[in-house]
Amino acid sequence: MLRTIAFAGLGLEASTKSLNAMKRPLQVTLTGCLFIVAGLVGLVYHLSERPLDHWIVLISMIRIIAVVGGVFLLMGQNWARWLMLAWLAFHVVVSAFHSLSEFMPHVVLLMTVGYVLLGPPTSKYFQSAPSDYTGV
C-alpha cells in the first residue's frame, strides 16, 4: 500500500505495511511535536524581536531545521532522529559559551532526548518504519 503525504509542496510516497506496521511510540510523537513547537516558537520570537539582526538568516534556518526534523520524526524517518540529536548537540555547544545555568539544561535535554530516540522501543519503531523515499 502506498501513502502520499504532502509536505511543503512535495509529494512524498511511503510504503506502509498494513498488517506489520508498528504503531508510533508516544515518546516519538511527543518528541516530534516538541521540536516542531520549539522551532516555530523560536522562529516567531527571533523574527519579531530581532528582524534586522545580521544573524537572523542563520537563526531562522536552525529553527526551520527543528520544524522539518520534527515533522519527519513523526513520519518515522530514521535520519530525522539523528538530525534532531545533532540539532540539540549544536545547542549544547552554543549554550556552553553562555552561563552554566543555560548549559546544564541543554545537556540534560540532550541526554533525555537521546535516550528517548535511541532507546529500545523507538529504535525498533525506526527500524520497522518505512525509510525509503520513492519520489514522485
For residue 134, count CB atoms less than 10 angstroms from its CB and return exposed for 0-12, middle for 13-18, buried for 19 or more.
Answer: exposed
Low-confidence ranges of the chain (pLDDT < 50): 1-2, 13, 15-20, 136
pLDDT at position 134 is 53
pLDDT at position 131 is 54
pLDDT at position 129 is 60
Count of C-beta atoms within a 10 Å radius of residue 113: 19
Task: Express each pLDDT in 40-55 by its tens digit.
Answer: 999 999 999 887 888 8
**Contact by Cβ (8 Å): 104, 86:** no
pLDDT at position 53 is 83
Give pTM, 2 decimals.
0.76
Half-sphere exposure of 67 (CA within 13 A, CB side): 15
